[in-house]
Amino acid sequence: MDTPSQHPATVRVIASPQSWVEGEALRQLEAVARLPGMRAAVGLPDLHPGKGAPVGAAFASHGVFYPFLVGNDIGCGMGLWALDLPVRKARPERWAARLDLEGPWDGDAEGMLARHGVKPCGFEASLGTVGGGNHFAEVQRVEAVHDPAAFAALKLDATRLLLLVHSGSRGLGEAILRAHVDRHGPGGLAEDSPEAHAYLTRHDQAVGWARANRATIAARVMRGVGAGEGPGGPRVLDVCHNSVTPRQRAGERHWLHRKGAAPSDEGLVVIPGSRGALSYLVRPLGDGEAHAHSLAHGAGRKWTRTHARERMRERFTADALQRTPFKSHVVCEDRDLLFEEAPPAYKAIDRVVGDLVEAGLVRVVATLAPVLTYKTRSARE
């Protein structure tokens, strides 16, 4: 639906009548649309309130861009790897007992960063760590193939396991945003200003660092589960959910901000559900103009973390939340995080993806089921 407004930005929310979108998220979307230079504000089916701006949204501006819309986890995104490991050899309980991604990686950090075009920046001790919140590393199996031709084009094998990694730039992105906010608050940056060029240099560093981080996490998981690299290289895709990038639109240079949004212009993407739900491998459709070249990046929160923590403690034990209906295992030794990230705290992923399908934005290629989800082995202090 298109929302009439008294400001120049077009506001669009892609959600069916069956989907529930919180009023505060809509208010935040409208507020961003009123910022100077804003041309479009698009809410995706996983839209939910964030800190000052909604998550599950994309924004296009002209002449100015806004670092606070990117947020503190610059470069956060998802990578998918094909594992040289048959589904029949999955040992989730054994893996859950021994897999440990905490602490510094014991590999060549500078070499890994260099392969991703990134120079060391002082945060190498965090390289290869998942982080908190909704970040995870998840070994998956193919539940069903819905588009055999597209699936085959990826050279995937439905009898072998996959690995989905969701993480970002860790402390680096936080440092970049903090330096900006300390000087400029929530204000934007004129696109040709020295401050804008300086921020974009640091931003691009964080995007590259986050991609290297996901690759390092994948390497640690592969070693932990005894999986090798499949033919042609293990990485199937890697996309960024939090970024600002220039692109031409209607004869103007626009700045496309994604705040918890997957790109629709970089090939196939994975849209994950909660740790107790399927993930969807989808192919974007159309030219992307009407939805800011963006898609939902996940199920989207239904409850706040505080609300989820309180409600889930009343309904589940911690042990119960470490197993899922798919008989998969969850590694999460932070009890609060275990409750905050419980599946009922999220929207139904089939409805989120269904909205995108009904809007003609994606076609489902395959569904992926969890086998082992890794969150953290550290308890919150």
Active-site positions? 297
Q: What is the DSSP letter of 171?
A: H
How many CA atoms does the CB half-sphere of 137 hold within 13 Å?
Answer: 29
Task: Compute φ and ψ for 254, nearest 5 degrees.
Answer: -110, 160
Q: How many CA atoms, within 13 angstroms, populate the side-chain half-sphere of residue 302?
A: 19
User: Beta strands of 168-264 (E only): which ranges?
Assistant: 189-190, 228-229, 235-240, 242-249, 252-259, 261-263
User: How far apart are alpha carbons 146 and 368 in whole angstroms?
Assistant: 11
- Measured between alpha carbons, how far is residue 82 from residues 23, 92, 372 in Å? 39, 17, 15
The residues pairing with 7 across neighbouring beta strands, listed in sequence order, are none
Residue 305 identity (one-letter amino acid): R
Cα–Cα distance list, 81 to 139, 162, 236, 356 (Å): 9, 6, 5, 24
User: What span, in angstroms and rounded, lies between the C-alpha atoms of 175 and 170?
Assistant: 9
For tokens 């905490």, name the residue: 102
**Gap between the Cα atoms of 338 and 333, Å rounded:** 8
Show Cβ contacts of residue 287 under 8 Å, excluding neighbours closer than 6 positions.
none
Tokens of 226: 């005894």
Kindly report each contact of residues 124-128 with a partner whose C-beta sits within 8 Å and lies 24 or more positions away, as own/partner. Answer: 126/170, 126/171, 126/172, 126/213, 127/209, 127/212, 127/213, 127/216, 128/101, 128/104, 128/213, 128/216, 128/217, 128/219, 128/220
Rounded to an integer, what distance in angstroms lies between the CA atom of residue 333 and that of residue 344?
A: 19
How far apart are alpha carbons 214 and 229 in whole angstroms?
Answer: 15
